[in-house]
Structure 1
Amino acid sequence: MRKIFKNIMNLALAMCIVLGMPISKSVATSDKIEDKKAIILILDEISLEDVLNSQTPNIDLLLENGAMGFMNIRARSSLSNRGSTYLSLGMGVRTLASTKGGLAFPRNQMYPLSDYSLVSEYVTVSDIYKLYTGKTPPDGEIINIAIRDIERTALDITPNNQVGLLGKIAKEKGLVTGVVGNSDLDVPAREITMLAMDENGIIPFGSIESDLLMTDANVLGGIKLNQERLLEEVERILPHVNMLFIDYGDTVRVQKTNRLTTDDIKEEQKIKAIERADSFLGQVMKKVDQEKTLFMVITPNPSKEVVNQGNFGLTPIIMSSANTEKGLLISNTTRREGLVTNFDFGPTILDFFGVAEPRSFIGEPMQVISNENPTEVLLRNQAQSLYLRKYRSVFHQAFIVLVGIALVGFYLPRFIKWKVLPNKILNYLSLTIMAVPLTMMTVSLFGYKYIGFDLFYVFGGAFIISYILNKIFNKKWITIATLGLTTSVFLLIDIFFVKKLMIISPLGSDAIAGGRFYGIGNDYMGILLGSTLLGFFSLFHLYKIKKPTMAVFITSYMILVIVGLSPFFGANMGGTLSAMLIALLILLIVFDKKFSFKKIMIIVIGVIVGILLLAALDVLFNPNPTHAGKALESLITGGFSKFFEIISYKLKQVFWNLINASWNVILFSQLILSILLYRWESEILVKIRENYPNLFKGFIITLLGGIAIFLFNDTGTIGAALILNYLFIPLGVLMNDIVECNGEGRFHKFF
């Protein structure tokens, strides 16, 4: 269809030339689009507090009818390579930039042919471009001569993506880009060009040369932008462009030259630079029709101060146009108020011009949630993110210690003649462990302020819950079933309705690292599946429910779990895959069907087909497809190379987690326990299967579910360890109960 349309347009063009008729403008270059402008002011390496502490009347004016938020700017590089964030913004993917990515110059500027200082031969930048690329540069005022190194570096780590995607789409749709300003100090620092350029490294209009700078003994580094010259270039370029990117690099120069000064002077200099930028923005605002202009103020890289605090991924962003209102930014990529990503930057600008490119970018256009006090919300969210970033490992390690004590207390006496803890303590400890996910979810309701209080709330609260439930119910397994089902139901309520508690839990995701922004993470996915299985099979054990009724109850509930994990709610594809496999295993095991290689293969194939169908439905019926739908699309368009790219990335994540994840010690302990119990305690396992058949079935499904979670998730180490807690903790309780009831001190003789 596209070829037919192209042929028709070519034929029409030929007829116009032959007949001498005037050529009408295309939709992309209609008067309506040409009248619109997007002004993107870049204030790099600053924080939200820096903006709030500055006198910025023009930014304040934008915020009266505009929104602000934090943008996750993470790229695939260290913090020292600031160009990667610019390239990621332009490509719409986390990538790695060449360290030479700032080498951009005016087309006809003279450039040294050799780096050898004794040879002073110069050629034009166009000649250098042709030398490096083998091609004559296309028309455009600005050329990035490092385009091939940029492309090679980025596509090596993120293949099947497009360098200069934003500029390329703009060019194809008849939108013209321009860039002014730089962050030069000792060397050219024009990384902004990697954001605005097309796939050839070309920007149609621009002025980025060093003559935009002036000396000033009152600023750190002695150099600042000459606003008069910069404004002249803006006035020259503005009539010819739709998108104008302004690099007000004075904030970067302050950061580069602050080693010899005090913190107070550095902060004062940074504020002055921001205020100069705001003054310049005010002059630019007078040059455009504000009713037809989108204004954005972005910070591609965090300041050194906030990085030292632990915030290496969130920077302030402001957006304002005639169609926005005062409030907080959000997007379908994050589904969190006040938070967007660098993936959303390109789609937002294109959406303003009426250009829909949902299949080119993985991000979504930013939207606005009305709010009269956006700064208050953002500061609170930032404090919360920093708190979790700092103390998340403390919560996890404390939880791991509790689980480790329980495993040692339950199982060490099975193999040596030494009882570590009394049964009563072990029973309360096991119930406390199963209540911890509930208190972890609700701790945010009381605010993250003091780590001592929060730890007491999480673990002390879990103990109180276990103590109360133990007093209410006469039977221990009713308490266990209640805890399991309560946890499961509570998680589903959060997935379908609240959509918040898990995300900001210590067992949730990290907004700064940006691994997941909404839905259910692998930590709680393992807990959801484990608590569901333990809760239901404990009930089946207590009330002797018939097999068909049992199958109907748990299968119906598992459908809810699968939907909750699916792309439409939980956005956890590995969890969806694991849950579907578990649901099929439940039917086989409940009805005592024997396993065979053929059955296993049929189950796995069926699950994969089901996942593909979910992703296909996501693409067909969701106007803003989730990552699952877009992943399917990229597989279709990218073929096997895209498939292997995804698999390679997932495997790297798996191996990284095997080495670094804190839950490894628990998972390895559980693996060793499985081997030891199977090898030396098979007799007791057989007795449990005979006397507690429904519980045993739940244990088997949980074990297989743990394997599935480990295989189907890039961070499956944590999810597998957490689901297996719902096997080894209750199994330990059961073994202790059996020993106590039979009055034997040794595990081998209690029958």
Structure 2
Amino acid sequence: MVINKIKITFLVFMIILIIIISANNVYSDSENKYNSKKTYVLILNRTTLEDIYSMNNLLTLINEGSIGLMNTRGLYGYDGPESYITINASTRCYANYSTTEFFNININEKKMNEYITATGIKPRNYSIANLKINKILKLNKNNKYSPNIGALGDCLHKEGLKTAVFGNSDTADSFIRTNCLIAMDSKGLIDYGNVDNVLIEDKYFPYGVKTNYNKILNELKGINKKASLIVIEEGDLNRLNLYKELLSDEMFIKHKKKILQRADEFIGDLLNIIDKNNSRMIITSPNSGEKIEGGVDKLTPIIIWGDGIKSGIVTSKTTRRQGIVSNIDIAPSITNYIGINSDKFSGERIESLEYNDNLSFIKELLKRTEFISKIRYSTLSIFCILTIMISLITTSLVLIEYRLKSIFKNVIIFSLILILTTPITLLLMSLFKIDNIYAFIVAAVAFVTILTIMIYRINIKNRILFITGFTYLIIIVDIISGGNLIKFSTLGYDPIIGARYFGIGNELSGVLIGCMFIFWALILEKIKRRYFILIFLIYTIVLVIAPNYGANLGATLSLIGGTIYFVISIYKINLDFKTITLFLLITIAFIMGFTIIDFSFSFTTSHLGKLVTSTINNGIKTVYDVISRKLYMNIKLLGVTIWSKVLLVNLICLILLIRFKNRKLKTLFKEKNNFFIGLTSALVSSTIGFITNDSGVLLASIANIFILNSLLYVTIEYTEETNTNYIKS
């Protein structure tokens, strides 16, 4: 009996022991699962691509890892603390230098008490705290993106993982510790690090101090196995930028070369304490790069090296551009590598693509991207001014029924054709890798002139048909083939601005709307197969909304609205409550269907998918914020952009034509009813686009260029046919 009791007791003891050991193993496995993987973020602020060529250790990292360009935009700009805090937050965020008061509270009781007084939180086992965390929260209270401040730090702390920060950019009279913004959690806390005592005096450096790399390296060894995220600020480059106004160009260059050499040596030393098999290093500049010869690079270099990184270039689903990522992609890249949830971030993880001679590729990409960005505004401004002038002159002549001599009439017609062919010219110009502004001007003028002359030689009745059809076809083919023309067109999107990186932007959506309905309306006069045309209209809508192609929800809504009007008009459908409800349900079902496809089958998430995901995670407030942001942007653009003037002039010209040439237009449209349907469908579509897009004024303006100029051209053409003498040779 006693023996049985002993056996039972022993058995129970063994079971408990096994459970404890198993639990410890599970805990250890969980701990190892995370803590075995580490990410080092080295900040070389104000670094440009050209700086890299003088840094041998960094060149070795690039050869072994991946390099790319990073958009540094924060909430408002590309500089200062907002670019740092955006890396950490769930989306674009704002901070200023007065909010970067981070101190080592573990060794400074006074700062510890200040933090407790401000937040009511007693930080246990934390080394660094932000005394102005509440100010950051207040600055972002009305942020239209509704960011989660310190999202990266929160994700790590939620899983019991630790963060660390070393270095600063302090000057003689100010604390600049923006690097801490990358690692802090929503309470402004960081586990380990040193931001107070990391400088040494050197009277030959800006502000008489420089970063003590040896101290950072020694302290890193102590926490290397404890922290999963380690952020290091080089600091001297930032101080040099702040000191720049006191230096001659020669001394600025001299100091920068010396600082870059020290930073490169530090990278070499850092590699000696990093285990490449379970670590990654991200080297980047959160702020715009400062060029030695003057000027800035708003796209800054980003290098990723280490575990799982290929030798090549970076990309992400945020940009879908080879070689370009966004600063909002860094945080999800870190959490994804460590293996924790990253759903709260608006960015996507950075991936590496194999590519030989990656640095040369990125250099060429930066050169071309910056050139397109540089000439974009001036090119489009010239186009807008020409459009306004030609529209006003031609409309005035039509209104006063001025008798023109043949040569003057031909000049007017030629000018209308030139305006209508300019958008497709600007798109096709991206076929040529031109990086000189004068060469671009000559090539663009020559291209549009030759194209206009070719179209002018076509039969007068088919010119608008050819222009709209050719433009429509090229845009559709480009969308299907990956948008290679759009990416490097002045009518495309600008990665430096960072509003859109892929799909079809609002400018070309306006071109598409203006061309599509007019083209198919004119085709309808020739083939009479309405179902055939309807198939192409639906196919175009599918392409524009598809996440892997156009990925533009606002333009899709515009096209759906215009197509519904087009169908109602050509089939002469009576509009009643039942019909309106049916079309509305079809529209909702169509968009919901593509939302499901986006989530279930698409390799990349579109803006629509992100909107739905954000709404699920954050509630209906997300939709409200998006609508508010779109309205705000449209109101803002109406006041500042030249496109608003183009739209206003076009609408005034249309109103004047309708008001004073009503009878003649009725006669024209009675004979050319399909053309009238095409114009009004485009007008309906552009109006919806104006409302549903955050830069809808661009879309509406460009669409109305095609509407007005096509109307003016056909009016002149019809006048010749009927011999009604208000523009006649």
**Is the deviation greater in 289-298 or in 156-165?**
156-165
Matched, 1:425 2:398: no
CA distance in structure 2 between the partners assigned to 1:199 and 1:335 by the alignment: 30
- The farther-off stretch of 723-732 and 597-606 is 597-606
Partner Cα separation in structure 2 for residue 23 and residue 268 of structure 1: 57
Indicate the residue corresponding to 2:106 in structure 1: 108
1:348 to 333, 351, 356: 333
Alignment partner of 2:141 out of 155, 167, 178: 155
2:70 corresponding residue in structure 1? 71
In structure 2, the partner of 1:521 is 505
Shift of 1:418: 4.2
**How far apart are residue 316 of structure 1 and its match?**
1.0
Q: 1:139–1:554: structure 2 CA closer, same or farther, 3 Å change rule?
A: farther
Q: CA deviation at 1:71?
A: 0.5
Is the contact between residue 39 and residue 244 of structure 1 (CA under 8 Å) also seen in structure 2?
yes
Counterpart in the other structure of 2:8 = none
**Partner residue of 1:195?**
182
2:426 corresponds to which of 426, 440, 464: 440
Q: Which deviations, in whole Å up to 9, do the C-alpha atoms of 1:575-614 show, x marking residues without a partner?
A: 1111122222221111122445775565456434532432
Q: Aligned pair in 2 of structure 1 residues 19, 289: CA closer, same or farther (>3 Å)? A: closer
The separation in 1 between residues aligned to 2:259 and 2:195, in whole angstroms, is 18
- Paired with 1:361 and 1:36, the residues of 2 have a C-alpha distance of 20
Instruction: Please say if 1:732 is aligned against 2:712.
Output: yes
The separation in 2 between residues aligned to 1:592 and 1:309, in whole angstroms, is 60
| Superposition deviation, residue 522 in structure 1 | 0.6
The answer for the alignment partner of 1:3 in structure 2 is none
Q: Are the counterparts in 2 of residues 65 and 322 from structure 1 also a CA contact under 8 Å? A: no
CA shift at 1:158, angstroms? 4.3
Q: Deviations over 1:592-644 (max 9, x none)?
A: 22445775565456434532432243123335422211111212332232222
**Aligned-CA RMSD value:** 2.5
Query: Residue 194 of structure 2 corresponds to which residue in structure 1?
Result: 207
- Give the AA of the match of 1:336: R
Alignment partner, residue 671 of structure 1 = 651
Matching residue of 1:226: 212
The structure-2 alpha-carbon separation of the partners of 1:477 and 1:738, relative to structure 1 and needing over 3 Å to count, comes to closer
Letter in 2 for 1:91: A
User: Shift of residue 176 of structure 1?
Assistant: 1.9
Query: After the TM superposition, which residues 327-346 of structure 1 pair with which residues of structure 2 at under 5 Å, given as runs?
Result: 327-346=312-331
Q: Determine which of 275, 279, 290 is the counterpart of 2:261.
A: 275
The one-letter amino acid paired with 2:461 is W
**Aligned twin of 2:471:** 487
Judged with a 3 Å threshold, the aligned counterparts in structure 2 of structure 1 residues 241 and 25 are, in CA distance, closer, same or farther, namely farther
CA contact under 8 A between 1:577 and 1:608: conserved in structure 2?
no
What residue in structure 2 maps to residue 363 of structure 1?
347
Structure 1 equivalent of residue 40 of structure 2: 39
Which of the residues 434, 444, 451 maps onto 1:465?
451
> Which SS does the other structure have where 1:501 is aligned?
helix
Aligned-partner Cα distance in 1 for 2:102–2:696: 43
Match of 2:572 in 1: 592
Whole-Å separation in 1 of the counterparts to 2:519 and 2:292: 44
Are residues 597 and 432 of structure 1, via their aligned partners in 2, closer, same or farther at CA, if it must alter by over 3 Å? farther
Shift in CA distance, 352/506, structure 1 to aligned 2, threshold 3 Å: same
Matching residue of 2:699: 719
For the 8 Å contact 2:553–2:607, the answer to whether it is kept is no
2:402–2:726 Cα contact (<8 Å) kept: no
What's 2:11 paired with?
A: none
Q: Per the alignment, do residues 275 and 25 of structure 1 end up closer, same or farther by CA in structure 2, a change over 3 Å counting?
A: farther
Per-residue deviation, 1:568: 3.0
Conserved 8 A contact 1:104-1:144: yes
Deviation at 1:719, TM superposition (A): 1.0
Q: Distance in 1 between matches of 2:393 and 2:57?
A: 64
Change (3 A) 1:682 1:598: farther
Structure 1: runs of 5+ lacking an equivalent: 1-14, 111-122
- Post-superposition Cα deviations, 1:16-71, rounded to whole Å, max 9, x if no partner, equal 9998665444598342432222111111112111222x2x2321221121011110
CA distance in structure 1 between the aligned counterparts of 2:326 and 2:77, rounded to whole angstroms: 18
Q: Any idea what the Cα deviations from partners look like across 1:245-276, whole Å, max 9, x if unmatched? A: 11111111111222222112212212221221
TM-score scaled to structure 1, two decimals?
A: 0.89
Distance 1:674 1:31, change over 3 A: same
In the TM superposition, residue 163 of structure 1 has moved relative to its aligned partner by: 0.8
Instruction: Please name the residue that 1:171 is paired with.
Output: 157
Structure 1 residues 486 and 248, CA, compared in 2 at 3 Å: closer, same or farther? same
| SS of residue in 1 equivalent to 2:282 | strand
1:372 aligns with 2:352: no
Q: CA deviation at 1:298?
A: 1.0
Aligned in 2, Cα 1:57/1:697: closer, same or farther, shift over 3 Å?
same
Worse overlay, 677-686 or 418-427: 418-427
CA pair 43-462 structure 1, distance change in 2 beyond 3 A? same
In the other structure, the counterpart of 2:617 is 637
Aligned: 1:141 with 2:100: no
**CA 1:513–1:306: 2 relative to 1, 3 Å:** farther
Q: TM-score, normalised by structure 2?
A: 0.92
Letter in 1 for 2:655: I
How many residue pairs get aligned? The number is: 710
Which AA in structure 1 matches 2:723? G
**Cα separation, 2, equivalents of 1:627 and 1:171:** 29
Q: Which amino acid aligns with 2:680?
A: I
Q: CA deviation at 1:107?
A: 1.9
Contact 1:85 1:300 in 2 (8 A): yes
For residues 533 and 79 of structure 1, what CA distance do their matches in structure 2 show?
40
How far, CA to CA, are the matches of 1:684 and 1:224 in structure 2? 79
Q: Indicate conservation of the 8 Å contact 1:439/1:459, yes or no.
A: no
| Map of 1:99 onto structure 2 | 97
1:332 to 1:43, Cα distance in 2 relative to 1, 3 A: same
The letter for the 1-side match of 2:484 is K
- Tell me by how many angstroms 1:383 deviates: 2.0
Whole-angstrom distance in 2 between the partners of 1:128 and 1:635: 37
> Does structure 1 retain, via aligned residues, the 8 Å contact 2:155–2:340?
no
Whole-angstrom distance in 2 between the partners of 1:219 and 1:419: 76
Match of 1:314 in 2: 299
1:156 shift after superposition: 2.6
Q: Residues 242-321 of structure 1 correspond to what in structure 2 (within 5 A)?
A: 242-305=228-291, 309=295, 311=297, 313-321=298-306
Cα distance, 1:307–1:569 mapped onto 2, change above 3 Å: farther
Between the aligned residues of both structures, percent identity stands at: 25
Q: Find out whether 1:512 has 2:478 as its counterpart.
A: no
Q: 1:87 is matched with which residue?
A: 85
1:7 counterpart residue number: none
Alignment gaps of 5+ in structure 2: 1-14
CA distance in structure 1 between the aligned counterparts of 2:292 and 2:538, rounded to whole angstroms? 44
How big is each residue's C-alpha offset from its partner over 1:459-516, in whole Å with a ceiling of 9 and x where there is no partner? Answer: 3312212322333x4x323232122112111111111114221121011111111111
Shift of 1:733: 1.3
Query: In structure 2, what residue type is equivalent to 1:217?
Result: K
Distance in 2 (CA, whole Å) between partners of 1:132 and 1:16 is 47
Report the residue type matching 1:563 in the other structure. V
Alignment of 1:540-551 (within 5 A): 540-541=524-525, 543=526, 545-546=527-528, 549-550=529-530
Match in the other structure for 1:387: 371
Separation (CA, whole Å) in 1 of partners of 2:536 and 2:716:
31
Match of 1:561 among 540, 544, 547: 540
Tell me the amino acid that sits aligned with residue 305 of structure 2: S
- The residue that corresponds to 1:119 in the other structure is none
